[in-house]
Structure 1
Amino acid sequence: MTDRDRFRAVPQGRLSRLGALGQIVGGIASGVVSEGLNRLAQGERPHLRDLLLTPSNALKTAEHLSRMRGAAMKLGQMIALEPGELLTPELQAIFSSLGSSAHFMPQAQLGRCLAEAWGPDWRRHFRHFDMTPIAAASIGQVHRGVLSSGRPVAVKVQYPGVARSIDSDIDNVATLLRLSGLVPRHLDLSAHLAEAKRQLREEADYLREADEMRRFHLLLKDDPRFVVPLPVDELLRPGVLPMDFVEGVPLERLGTAPQAERDRAMQALAELALRELFLFGAMQTDPNLGNYLWQRESGRIALLDFGAVRPVLPESAAAYRALLRATLSGEIERVRGALLDMRYLSPAQVARHGKALDEMISTVLDHVLKAPGGQVDFSDRGPLVAVQARAQPIFLDRSLWALPSPDKMFLQRKITGMALLALKLRVRLSLVDMLEPHA
């Protein structure tokens, strides 16, 4: 898809966004019928879940979510972080494209947003403003410019109507998940949906994001591994966030860098996540790779997005510290107990699948604690494959699904994202040395 093809107006009204979701449902429904008839003709007995999660249906869903943007697209991005039991690699690749494939606002719509923020003569603030965005995601798109003072800036412009549509988008997507059968009926999602709405409202508050950017700038000012831009206060508005323009390349480019460079970058990001969890009391919980840039010559990492920063509740930090200590002890029973306390496991799962769960825990402990030379090799996917094989029947036993607290779910999103990045970059890390200071 060319940049020209990506210019589409953001649907703003409640009915227009509901209609866009209806198009997703209609497209998926026709795909389910077609695929189901095809499989029946081949003598198969298809299951609804398998028919819903075909690559063709995923492509339709990703494309429509990309057009909608907002909370609906954000939920699609979260699906892309699913670690493997629900989605095949092909489906993960499709949903992962949502990280950076949002459609752009047409320039007329963009101009109206900027005029609303800065007045009809908004161009007087700039020597240059590029109307084609350099990035586009779920909440807004980013433009490059140069202020009249000569200061290079990146300007994040929020999609119109996105903040108002958060509640209805999440309610509508939750209804689709229920109707599809992908979420077991016994699971009470009300607290998690309420927290998702709150989190996304905060992400859409650019004044708050600017505050968090300043806070992390101070927290990391003495750490030479990171670059944190500062907002342009005089042009800051609720729907427009100008900040220092930071040079760098997408973090994915690290995949072709020498081993030592990949290891250093991943260690920096992992140690930052640990400091957020146990020292800062605040964590940026969105691990989308588009939130980072890598500066190849210096090896520094630029942190670009602070909308998803959330406080770490003391009880959540204590629970993760208990899990960390249990892991370092090497005792399966302590790890299992910590996971039960956090509600990542349920007593019913332990009763029915206890042996497989203990084998999974043992595999992870051996990989972390018995790594040759203390270096955990994330290019060795053997332990992951073994864990996934044992997890599959547990995951499919949907009657036993349980959920941890909403706070832990958002923190785990970041932790899982860091683990998946380590796998993607095939790094080697001294995990025990990194974890012990926080035990």
Structure 2
Amino acid sequence: MVDVTDIPRGTVARTARLARLPLGFAGRAALGLGKKVTGLAGEVISDKMQERTAEQLFSVLGQLKGGAMKLGQALSVFEAALPENLAAPYRAALTKLQEAAPPLPAATVHKVLAEQLGENWRDKFSEFDDAPAAAASIGQVHKAVWADGRDVAVKIQYPGAGPALLSDLKQLGRLSSLFRVLQPGLDIKPLVEELRDRVVEELDYQLEARSQRAFAKAYDGDPEILVPKVVAAAEKVLITEWVEGTPLSRIISDGTQEERNRAGYLMSTLHFSGPQRAHLLHADPHPGNFRLHEDGRLVVLDFGAVARLPHGLPEPIGHLVTLALRGEAQQVFDGLRDEGFIPADSEVDPQGVLDFLLPMLDPITKDEFRFSREWLRAEATRLGNPKSQAYILAKQLNLPPSYLLIHRVTLGSIGVLCQLEAEASWRDVLATWLPGFEVE
């Protein structure tokens, strides 16, 4: 039984905050609906209304300690797709969501530690800092010194996080249409449903510990990726080695081009190499989960969300990308149909399908490519405009369930690369790690 006095924000209060959102959005929409809404939100919502909307929406999300904050973090990686005149009001609020949340009282922290590690929990540490060093979507992190002298990170799950998470996601699913202020074509429901499917896994820190140990073993001694080792784990407390580094959010806002390129290249390397080396895909690519170490390695901090891929990334992905780059329209069509992306009775044109795909593959057609907000906005417009051929064709395609998480994580990773404005040889990364991909 959860003691409601331990829950930082009660479920009733959380639901009330979320329920107030429609009123704010409705009022602002009424001010702008002098004509039918047919294009981007900026056509009917002024800059000042956008700023107020951003402040209200992300203030609510940032104060919640469950599904709303998790959804906000998931959305934050897509900020780069917003038109520039709309992006600025969201950028600061989104960045705050990635690493900030109101802290738990020290007494509550101590109570959780006693429940999870035993009444003598203090004996396991030589030092413990009651002030949190960072926040996650369902917990917060404290810096401490383990009894053997190692600096450690202690991740503590918020009491009541499970019920709160499910309540938030249920409520947010009902309000999904409101988030179209970010992008009219953005459909939040599948994202909410997919997040809900992974709630049970993310609430189990012992399961996360097993995933982190698998990554740590796979990348032990690696010159590019640094995964902190697990020191101890309980159901709601996870203790790992403490590793310093520059947060990716700071590199996005103030980093040099060299740092941006390095961070982006290493994120891409982790994305494509994890399934082959650890048989796991890191499935939470928001900047709060990454640091750039002073020695140049990418520090990966959170393994609550992973996809288990015992055979690595599906070989057809690389094979079909190769065929697309060769211009083999019919073979690409046949392969996509075999994998379930194109319904068996579909009458879409193979060349039309190839023309739909090629702009997405532009980053690997060049020796080096610089991801940018402009490129992502152009793609978002091409795919999200109901009048475009790409939009019409996309409505006739399927996303097979086995590819859903891979697709979502890939899109999220691209969003971060565009925030970084990173430039590298992405084709080389695929050639090294993507099964079935061949360079001509």
Provide TM-score, normalisation by structure 2: 0.79
Q: Do structure 1's residue 391 and structure 2's residue 391 form an aligned pair?
A: no
SS in 1 for 2:314: helix
1:421 aligns to what?
A: 416
The match for 1:299 among 288, 296, 315 is 296
Measured in 2, the distance between the counterparts of 1:243 and 1:430 equals 33
Q: Do structure 1's residue 57 and structure 2's residue 53 form an aligned pair?
A: yes
Asked if structure 2 preserves the Cα contact closer than 8 Å seen for 1:250 and 1:294, the reply is: yes
Q: Deviations for 1:152-202, whole angstroms, at most 9, x for unmatched residues?
A: 111000001112333333222212226888999xx9968x76653341211
Q: Do structure 1's residue 321 and structure 2's residue 318 form an aligned pair?
A: yes
1:433 aligns to what?
A: 428
Structure 1 gaps, min length 5: 1-7
2:399 aligns to what?
A: 404
**Cα RMSD over matched residues?**
4.0
| CA distance 1:39–1:330, change in 2 (3 Å) | same
Asked if structure 1 preserves the Cα contact closer than 8 Å seen for 2:100 and 2:135, the reply is: yes
The match for 1:246 among 243, 246, 264 is 243
1:134 aligns to what?
A: 133
Measured in 1, the distance between the counterparts of 2:188 and 2:378 equals 31
Q: Deviations for 1:237-269, whole angstroms, at most 9, x for unmatched residues?
A: 211111111122212444555545543443232
Measured in 2, the distance between the counterparts of 1:350 and 1:84 equals 34
SS in 2 for 1:232: strand
2:66 aligns to what?
A: 70
2:32 aligns to what?
A: 39
Letter in structure 2 aligned against 1:413: R
The match for 2:282 among 273, 281, 284 is 284
Measured in 2, the distance between the counterparts of 1:401 and 1:18 equals 41
Q: Deviations for 1:286-336, whole angstroms, at most 9, x for unmatched residues?
A: 01212112112x112222111112202759623423343234434456556
1:211 aligns to what?
A: 210
* 1:74 Cα offset (Å): 1.0
| CA distance 1:33–1:426, change in 2 (3 Å) | closer
Measured in 2, the distance between the counterparts of 1:152 and 1:215 equals 21
Deviates further, 264-273 or 210-219: 264-273
| CA distance 1:331–1:384, change in 2 (3 Å) | farther
The match for 2:11 among 7, 17, 30 is 17
Q: Deviations for 1:200-258, whole angstroms, at most 9, x for unmatched residues?
A: 2111111111111211111011412222212223xx22111111111222124445555
SS in 2 for 1:243: strand
1:4 aligns to what?
A: none
Measured in 2, the distance between the counterparts of 1:343 and 1:84 equals 30
For residues 6-405 of structure 1, the aligned pairs below 5 Å read 10-11=7-8, 16-26=10-20, 28-39=21-32, 43-44=34-35, 50=41, 54-82=50-78, 88-90=86-88, 92-93=90-91, 94-177=93-176, 195-233=194-232, 236-255=233-252, 259-296=257-294, 298-312=295-309, 317-331=314-328, 359=355, 361-366=357-362, 368-369=364-365, 371=366, 374-378=367-371, 383-394=375-386, 400=395, 404-405=399-400
Measured in 2, the distance between the counterparts of 1:189 and 1:341 equals 27
Measured in 2, the distance between the counterparts of 1:106 and 1:135 equals 14
Measured in 2, the distance between the counterparts of 1:120 and 1:254 equals 41
Q: Deviations for 1:350-398, whole angstroms, at most 9, x for unmatched residues?
A: 859986x7555343445532x3xx122335x665454334223149969
Measured in 1, the distance between the counterparts of 2:338 and 2:82 equals 24
| CA distance 1:39–1:69, change in 2 (3 Å) | same
Q: Deviations for 1:86-112, whole angstroms, at most 9, x for unmatched residues?
A: 784246523343211222112232222
* 1:430 Cα offset (Å): 1.8
Measured in 2, the distance between the counterparts of 1:155 and 1:273 equals 25
Asked if structure 1 preserves the Cα contact closer than 8 Å seen for 2:145 and 2:152, the reply is: yes
Measured in 1, the distance between the counterparts of 2:402 and 2:195 equals 10
Deviates further, 149-158 or 314-323: 314-323
| CA distance 1:241–1:376, change in 2 (3 Å) | same
Q: Deviations for 1:22-58, whole angstroms, at most 9, x for unmatched residues?
A: 32222x2332343244336xx5556899589944233
Asked if structure 2 preserves the Cα contact closer than 8 Å seen for 1:249 and 1:295, the reply is: yes
Measured in 2, the distance between the counterparts of 1:117 and 1:200 equals 20
Measured in 1, the distance between the counterparts of 2:125 and 2:138 equals 24
Letter in structure 2 aligned against 1:311: R
| CA distance 1:36–1:427, change in 2 (3 Å) | closer
| CA distance 1:180–1:411, change in 2 (3 Å) | closer
* 1:143 Cα offset (Å): 0.4
| CA distance 1:64–1:389, change in 2 (3 Å) | closer
SS in 1 for 2:230: coil
| CA distance 1:435–1:29, change in 2 (3 Å) | closer
Provide TM-score, normalisation by structure 1: 0.79
Letter in structure 1 aligned against 2:151: P
Letter in structure 2 aligned against 1:267: Y
Quick one: higher RCO (CA 8 Å, sep 6+), 1 or 2? 2
| CA distance 1:315–1:18, change in 2 (3 Å) | farther
| CA distance 1:208–1:126, change in 2 (3 Å) | same
| CA distance 1:336–1:19, change in 2 (3 Å) | farther
Asked if structure 1 preserves the Cα contact closer than 8 Å seen for 2:251 and 2:420, the reply is: yes
Letter in structure 1 aligned against 2:404: M
Identity of aligned residues (%): 28
Measured in 2, the distance between the counterparts of 1:124 and 1:238 equals 19
| CA distance 1:155–1:267, change in 2 (3 Å) | same
